[in-house]
Structure 1
Amino acid sequence: MEELDLLIRARYPLLYLVSWEEHRVEALLGEVARAHGKVLLTWSVRRGLRHVGSTRGPVLPEDTRNPLEALAAIEKLSEPALVVLEDFPPYLEEKPLVRALRELAHSLKSTFTTVVLLSPTLQLPAELEKEVSVLDVPLPGFEELTQLLKEIVAVVRRGNKASIELTREEAEQLIKAAQGLTLSEAENAFAKAIAKDGKLSAEDIRRVQDEKRQVIRKSGLLEYYPPGEDLGSVGGLRELKQWLDRRTAAFGERARQFGLPEPRGVLLLGVQGCGKSLTAKAIAAHWNLPLLRLDMGRIFSGLVGSSEENLRKAIHVAESIAPVVLWVDEVEKGLSGVASSGTTDGGVTARVFGALLTWLQEKTAPVFVVATANRIEGLPPELLRKGRFDEIFFIDLPGVAERREIFRIHLERRGRKAGGYDVGVLAELAVDFSGAEVEQAVIAALYEAFGEGVELEQRHLERAIQETFPLAVTLRDEILRLREWARGRTRPASLAGEARKE
């Protein structure tokens, strides 16, 4: 608003506002017009030029739906005005209109009239690049959404149509869940939440988050994961869990007032199947934030120059719906070949990597990045520098205590009481098993019992463990090298008492 006000006072003749929200932008421009003593006019191909909010102002020609006639009418305005041209950029493919707009810009420099092009996308012919000033209109912020929620609550209470069951902190979480939506989308999401069960409660936070799924799907570059697994579904990793617990409320206003910045992210290194991906999902659920997965394969498309643009679009979508958890899975695969990028792909990988590094270092939006990696050889050293992430954790194969916990989780998840089995013996037998291999052993034992037509017994589980050859055995040298590298360079995800002793 400050920038817009400054440009209008400086008599910039042509402005370009990029936004989906016509009604919201018109309301903002109405405030600016009143502050400057100008009339507000809008133009659309269906209605032509018309006054907004008041009949006061210059007399307009009856039919100005033709773009050329509309520009001619604007040039003849006798009073200072703010004129909004809705969805006008597609007409600029016609050269006569480009010429007419350039001439209008020159004639308006000696007047107090400003023309604003309003469109959801930026489309400018080369001839107008030096004539037009472009402003991105941000989506509604926390204060605007708070005001919207207060208005909805006031209407609901006045009509006794629903109950409001929100604490102050829950209301704050609900508003943060709506960030990234337009004002209209947020209003619809709140109304849908109320219509679901006749009340507005903490359960509606996830319903509002789900409205963001539509925004993500349309981008085509990110995958949306609804909140599912929580940290209780992750066995062990108590050091990592404690670190995350301390940051649970770090996205709230209380943390900002305390002087804390938003958490930046974590890099999870470790052995395959030890819970890195599960942890990424659990972080989002634990913090009650949406989870987006960035697939680097989608970023690198076939068109020259499109990979960098794809990354910019993905980052823009993630930032627009922040606060959010952004999961970059197996980051080393997407960034492999950075060193030889200049000779193998014309430098595309290096440029994408550079753009990603810059964003990780400079980002101000509350996007918590969880990057996972299995092979440290494939990681560029620049990624490991402090400042890109808050912490680098190493997730090792689970120790005996952690395996006991993992066996309990997977048995209870499949409807069995862990107390009915000797999980201590199972944990001792499953030496060098990863969390994923423990899960597969439980599933294999269930198949065995089902095939025999009996309930799952201890012997089925023990046999499944004995018949499994863990990855740590077949790739022992590689895992030992990974552990050696991680010692002293990363923070262990498990407490010292839970560390492997086998």
Structure 2
Amino acid sequence: MEKQTSNQKSPPQSELEVLIRARYPLIYVVSWEEQRVLKEVWDIADRLNKKVYEWSITMGLVPGGTSIQSQKQKDSASQDPLVALDTVVEHVEPALYVFKDFHPFLKGQNMSVVRRMREIAISLKNTFKTIIIISPTFQLPGDLEKDLTVIDYSLPCAADLAKLLDRVIEQVKDNPKLKVNISGDVREQIVHSLLGLTLAEAENVLAKTLVQNRALNAESVEVINSEKKQIIRKNGMLEYYDSCENMNTVGGLDELKTWLDRRSEAFTDRARTFGLPAPKGVLLLGVQGCGKSLMAKAISSVWKLPLLRFDVGRVFGSLVGSSEENVRRAIRVAESVAPAILWLDEIDKAFRGSRSSGGSTDGGTSARVFGTFLTWMSEKTSPVFVVSTANDITSLPPELLRKGRFDEIFFVDLPLTEEREDIFRVHLKKRKFDPDIFDIKRLAAATVGYSGAEIEEAVVSAMFDVFYENRNLSTDDILNAVSRTVPLSKTMSEDMNTLREWAQGRARPAAGRLFTEQKQQRQIEI
């Protein structure tokens, strides 16, 4: 019988406990954290005065807590899943039966096991016995859809990770070789960076940063993010970027920088307490080579969040339905390491086939993948900030541009005179030159209509020339390199004018100037 308590406030019931109390016979828990689920099962069994039995292919059905070294209690007969299920039926006392990694036996070819599970679902309905399957993989035959209840066991929340951090600090606080006195802000950064890891992974990485840095401090966040990099690498759909860029390496775009700076604390607990939701994302439209991708990398460094590049090309698999599953899997991984930045570079090319004019070329796969991604963007509650870049607005589906998908749409145009001066300074400093020894104003005046990427290439090209001639770089060397370059603004002037006309009134200027001012200055310059 269930244990009765009086004059005590009951702890909040988890979904798993609710199902057990409601006598659901078959429960499937999808989780990598077997030990964490087992701990909850034991806590529930203790409250309900039930026994716990555990099954695995190596041990058979044994009393819960049996060590793998206890070969005497090993039940070889019940290693057979059918024998184990029969044993569950034969037991009469209230109990919870945990079946570990049982999913391979639920495949279609094991019809005897599937059939026995259906019979047991009926048999256990009016008993105090429950079978709980724990597996990191979800495999459910259609025959069991109505008999088995599935729970996606969420990863540890911030409160769970805060308790773990407190426990680790308590264990090492008396060690004179370790520094674990962390401030409130640093503590919050560490806890938030641990989100997306299992408790075992979080404990391991905290031990790693103690060994590596001999402390728990702000540098621990970088160590933790490197652990998340392993998770991303295993996924295959996402690429983890180690960004070394910051806002000082991006010339111009002052309005965009200000907008991002005001959201730099948006993922903190203070923002949640204030009532602010996590920002959804930003769409950067504009001319090629003007710093859109560079800005995505800079956001990661400034906000101290992992940057995940979503390669949509990898999503489109050869099997029907696999592309949609790939994008869902990529989204799950991004959410698992949140808070994070998800970067979709050149989204106009990635989802070109989603428009009605091109959807038939791939059987509608692009449209379905795009629909999956759009739905997630509108409904996501996890702190994943989406940064998308695009060059060709004619390829963008109109659904992507409506309010609610992104917090803001910025238009990144060719740099004006002051911005070109900033860009020259950035690239000269980046290559260990003193900008003050160059005529920056003269260089900016000679590069009207040049993008940031073209200015950088001119600097690099001049460096190659003087390196070959074994002499110092000068303003004239850069001007010579500029004169040999035909900017994209001249070769594709019609397309750029079309892009500017579209952006006027539809997007916010990233440089902070009104479109009319920009247009007037460009006419004067050109």
Question: What is the SS of the residue equivalent to 1:163?
Answer: coil
2:505 aligns with 488
Is contact 2:101-2:133 (8 Å) kept?
Answer: yes
The amino acid across from 2:55 in the alignment is W
1:19 aligns with 31
CA distance in 2, matches of 1:334, 1:139: 31
Is contact 1:228-1:285 (8 Å) kept?
Answer: yes
Q: Give the TM-score normalised by the residue count of structure 1.
A: 0.96
Question: What is the SS of the residue equivalent to 1:224?
Answer: strand
- Is residue 199 of structure 2 the alignment partner of residue 170 of structure 1? no
Is contact 2:263-2:279 (8 Å) kept?
Answer: yes
- Is residue 450 of structure 2 the alignment partner of residue 436 of structure 1? no
2:45 aligns with 33
2:129 aligns with 113
1:453 to 444, 465, 470: 470
Which digits, 9 at most, give the CA deviation of each residue in 1:95-135, with x for residues without a partner? Answer: 22222222222211121010001100111222222211001
Greater CA deviation, 163-172 or 487-496?
163-172
1:476 aligns with 493
CA distance in 2, matches of 1:396, 1:153: 50
Q: Give the TM-score normalised by the residue count of structure 2.
A: 0.92
* Deviation of 1:35 (Å): 2.0
CA distance in 1, matches of 2:416, 2:104: 63
Greater CA deviation, 88-97 or 363-372?
88-97
Question: What is the SS of the residue equivalent to 2:173?
Answer: helix
Q: Which aligned pairs between 1:301-450 and structure 2 lie closer than 5 A?
A: 301-337=317-353, 338-450=355-467
Is contact 2:95-2:128 (8 Å) kept?
Answer: yes
Change (3 A) 1:52 1:171: same
CA distance in 1, matches of 2:255, 2:74: 72
Question: What is the SS of the residue equivalent to 2:174?
Answer: helix
Is contact 1:411-1:418 (8 Å) kept?
Answer: yes
1:88 to 96, 102, 118: 102
Question: What is the SS of the residue equivalent to 1:496?
Answer: coil
Kindly report structure 1 stretches of 4+ aligned residues shifted beyond 6 Å: none
CA distance in 1, matches of 2:443, 2:511: 20
Is contact 1:341-1:348 (8 Å) kept?
Answer: no
Is contact 2:53-2:97 (8 Å) kept?
Answer: yes
CA distance in 2, matches of 1:157, 1:210: 25
* Deviation of 1:72 (Å): 1.7
Question: What is the SS of the residue equivalent to 2:169?
Answer: helix
CA distance in 2, matches of 1:23, 1:61: 20
1:183 to 184, 196, 199: 199
CA distance in 1, matches of 2:196, 2:74: 40
Is contact 2:59-2:75 (8 Å) kept?
Answer: no
2:87 aligns with 73
Question: What is the SS of the residue equivalent to 1:479?
Answer: helix
CA distance in 2, matches of 1:461, 1:227: 28
Which digits, 9 at most, give the CA deviation of each residue in 1:407-426, with x for residues without a partner? Answer: 11111111111111111111
1:255 to 256, 267, 271: 271
- Is residue 244 of structure 2 the alignment partner of residue 206 of structure 1? no
- Is residue 67 of structure 2 the alignment partner of residue 51 of structure 1? no
Is contact 2:339-2:383 (8 Å) kept?
Answer: yes
* Deviation of 1:495 (Å): 2.2
The amino acid across from 2:213 in the alignment is D
How many residue pairs get aligned? The number is: 498
- Is residue 312 of structure 2 the alignment partner of residue 296 of structure 1? yes
CA distance in 2, matches of 1:42, 1:136: 20
Which digits, 9 at most, give the CA deviation of each residue in 1:427-452, with x for residues without a partner? Answer: 11111110101100100110111111
Greater CA deviation, 32-41 or 19-28?
32-41
Question: What is the SS of the residue equivalent to 1:200?
Answer: coil
The amino acid across from 1:449 in the alignment is V
Which digits, 9 at most, give the CA deviation of each residue in 1:221-269, with x for residues without a partner? Answer: 1111023211111111010000001000000111011010000000000
CA RMSD of aligned residues (A): 1.7
Which structure 1 residue ranges, 5 or more long, are not aligned?
none
Change (3 A) 1:268 1:53: same
Q: Which aligned pairs between 1:138-177 and structure 2 lie closer than 5 A?
A: 138-177=154-193
Question: What is the SS of the residue equivalent to 1:292?
Answer: strand
Which structure 2 residue ranges, 5 or more long, are not aligned?
1-12, 68-72
The amino acid across from 1:107 in the alignment is S
The amino acid across from 1:90 in the alignment is P
* Deviation of 1:377 (Å): 0.5
Change (3 A) 1:233 1:239: same
